[in-house]
Amino acid sequence: MLLGSIEAGGTKFVCAVGNENYQVQDQIQFPTTTPEETLRKTVDYFNKFKIEALSIASFGPIEIRKSSDNYGYITTTPKPNWSNTDFVGYIKKYFDIPIFWTTDVNGSAYGEYVMSTLSNEKINSLVYYTIGTGVGAGVIVNGHLIGGIGHPEMGHVLLKRHPDDLDFKGICPYHGDCLEGLVAGPTFEARLGIKGQEVATDHPVWEIMAYYAAQAALQTMLTLRPSKIVFGGGVTSEQFLQKVRIEFKKLLNDYVQVPDLDQYIVTPAVKNNGSATVGNFALANKILNE
């Protein structure tokens, strides 16, 4: 059986086909250009295979409420040309198969959740953050994605400012200094005038970044009490998470018990940014069996 995965990122699309055991059998990636060109390439790719179901994990914001006229759309994204794009509608014209539609981070969260349960970790919930060009999080509770009026937007929560960072206004076009506005990849250039890749690992900015990421993780832990918090994305590394754990411990101040932080706040179990693809295969399989 073949299942399809579309990881639709703001920078690139990763399309893959695989089986119900989440093994990738073929994969392609191409840059995210215009919707017409990018979706055309996506359809051309899947036309080469006989897939039985498909899952799309997309950058957003997106409309996930089935009751909405705009279900399946990318809605108000600041990414040029993509706002109000009928993503699912376009794909459905070419493939008459079950299609699961969710956010990129929900796809990754689901992939991490599935891998954790497969390795017999006793978990019932998981939060996946990405810190890259943007910041977002996906949430799984008891095996389900959550959201009522829409999907979670945990990249835009507001935080206490670091005392050494008060002059920085943040880069979110909507909120300035929300989480994304303070820790997304482009903040390196906005704060320091140099790209993230050129910032030394011992630069003090990492303490500031860790302070904010730890606050996000703390609030998520206090709100949802998830079994595990995973951080992925280009800005994240094990070295960075070591700082995040230290800040998290200070902020929590022993208020409630949490698992060993080395196992609680972690990098992805699926390597090479593969979490969303695994999640998509699992979600496509799930929708096929519903």
| 232-271: burial string, b at 16+ Cβ within 10 Å, e else | bbebbeeebbebbbebbeeebeeeeebeebeebbbebbbe
CA atoms lying within 13 Å on the CB side of residue 69: 1
Rounded distance between C-alpha atoms, residue 17 and residue 221, angstroms: 34
**Footprint of Zn ion on 150-179 (CB under 5 A):** 156, 172, 174-175, 178
Q: How far is CA 195 from CA 74, 126, 166, 186, 244, in A?
A: 29, 31, 21, 7, 21
Rounded distance between C-alpha atoms, residue 6 and residue 287, angstroms: 15
Closer CB to Zn ion, residue 172 or residue 283? 172
Kindly indicate which of the ranges 74-82, 148-156, 244-252, 266-274 contains the residues binding Zn ion, using the contact rule CB under 5 A.
148-156
Mapped onto helix, strand or coil, the DSSP state of residue 77 is: coil
Q: How far is the CB of 247 from Zn ion (least distance, A)?
A: 21
Closer CB to Zn ion, residue 52 or residue 153? 153
137 belongs to the binding site for Zn ion (CB under 5 A): no
Closer CB to Zn ion, residue 14 or residue 178? 178
Closer CB to Zn ion, residue 172 or residue 282? 172
78 belongs to the binding site for Zn ion (CB under 5 A): no
Size of the site for Zn ion (CB under 5 A): 5
Closer CB to Zn ion, residue 172 or residue 214? 172
133 belongs to the binding site for Zn ion (CB under 5 A): no
41 belongs to the binding site for Zn ion (CB under 5 A): no
Closer CB to Zn ion, residue 182 or residue 266? 182
**Footprint of Zn ion on 178-207 (CB under 5 A):** 178
Q: How far is the CB of 190 from Zn ion (least distance, A)?
A: 14
79 belongs to the binding site for Zn ion (CB under 5 A): no
Residue 280, number of CB atoms within 10 A of its CB: 31
Closer CB to Zn ion, residue 131 or residue 178? 178
Q: How far is the CB of 155 from Zn ion (least distance, A)?
A: 7
DSSP string, 138-165: EEEETTEE--SSS---GGG-B-PPPGGG
For the chain, how far is it from start to end, CA to CA, in angstroms? Answer: 16
Question: Cβ neighbours of residue 195 under 8 Å, at least 6 residues apart?
Answer: 188, 189
Rounded distance between C-alpha atoms, residue 180 and residue 113, angstroms: 24
Q: How far is the CB of 212 from Zn ion (least distance, A)?
A: 13
Q: How far is the CB of 82 from Zn ion (least distance, A)?
A: 18
Residues that bind Zn ion (CB under 5 A): 156, 172, 174-175, 178
